[in-house]
A and B are shown apart, each in its own frame.
Chain A
């Protein structure tokens, strides 16, 4: 890795960090697309600033960007409220119109200023590190300085206004009631988005800015519910995107900005698939696990009921499948797991019966079932022949705490609506069962 690579990655890191952090607030405020609109709409402001100052760098550009981001936000509001256009349509109109204006302005002044609309869309990160200014004995890319400043301002903005940003993002009405000007906070946030957009433009272009504003925040939101953690994760996604995206671009010899958008998209896809709480894989796994546990409890409950009727019971797998109507493909593995957990004992090879431990577990299921039946009969007035099916479902969800609450409400009723005994709690409540 040479100096050029290092600078390029650093530049991308600064850009992705600044965008990722701001993006969290945009996402939580459901304003992602306004960020998108701003990153398109600053174009005419840039063109005018070029025209007036003749410079590609410096404060006029930033002033224009901040002005344009505020104007964009206000125009979207005005078209939405003032002209009664749906909000998404008004975003679409405002950003396309301003972008169109920008393209026309740039085309017309292209002879005077060296600016390419394509460069605005997807940047020239590859050459950003070549335009350097000397600082001490170092040659630092100009873009790096700009982005470092933008990142610094972003961090300062978030740290200083942390409390205000947090409350206005979650509940603007409450914020206003507490005397925090939600409207002002929104415009400040938009001004920050405009600033960061322009600082990033030259390096990475507007498309990557949009990707980095929205995607890391969305990925982070899938991984956590806490705002500080969300910011940290969004930052981490941003940095890893910078490194991996650059490596990928070098490998395929293609656009760095484009590659970073692809990489961050892949990271989001990973989060969608594998987030521990929200992920598709986790949901699938939990559903499967739950279905297995329900089947295990059904087996135990069936054994218990048989014992109630006929005393000790032992059965082979085929008999269970037939008699308990549990003919499912994974019955073998369910029984194996029950044996391993000590709930079933093998009397003879292939013949199983309930162990003491299994009887205790089954007791809880049966107790849940009969308590729920009694509860339904008492409070939902279901006819007696409608009670079994719902209880069959709920017996797997009514845990000891809820059982106690129901028993308490039913004044420790001893029989269920069918007249079968509701088993008591297993010891330590060492009462003799009925």
Chain B
């Protein structure tokens, strides 16, 4: 009988997180019983810790925040350490990390932190993948959904007007292929990781990225932030200004005050 796998989305975002998407994708490839969780607040701890008691494997899917794990994960990890040490749990731990920069290798400090956590908790570190440019996966899934809708519309119109239905399908197929090529490294390493998770073996640490030259990715990222900043108004509110802390900034204790 296969051991249960617990998958934890560690993004603090409520919706549309890349980590949540990656967790669902990984879940499709992992066999056996699975449980999915979203770790955001201490209220989420009891259910996750309870699920871990009956599991053999756990997959943390997390964004990179300032070269490490997001801060809200730390108190959970401390509670998990206590639980595992107290109950002699020997879970196998896998990590899928993603970051907004193009280089997957920038996830290395986060991977080491998770490995150190395993050593402290008596867990088996089994590695994982670090993904660069993970935010593009969000763009891709939105594009695929829109393109699929357009294809259905084209097929319908072609059928009504007596046109070539196949043209619309082929056009969608070509666009889809382009998006798959951009994500081919992530798909390949994702499948490889899933094979290791299913076998319960050490996957090692592997780093991959969206298959775009970095200068093209940077151009896309800059355009994305310009558009969002125009829509949200930040561009008109001192977008790049060197703001000073207000006089009453309560977090500072200064000399002479």
A binds B: no
Seen from chain B, the residues whose Cβ lies within 8 Å of a Cβ on chain A are none
- A residues apposed to B, CB below 8 Å: none
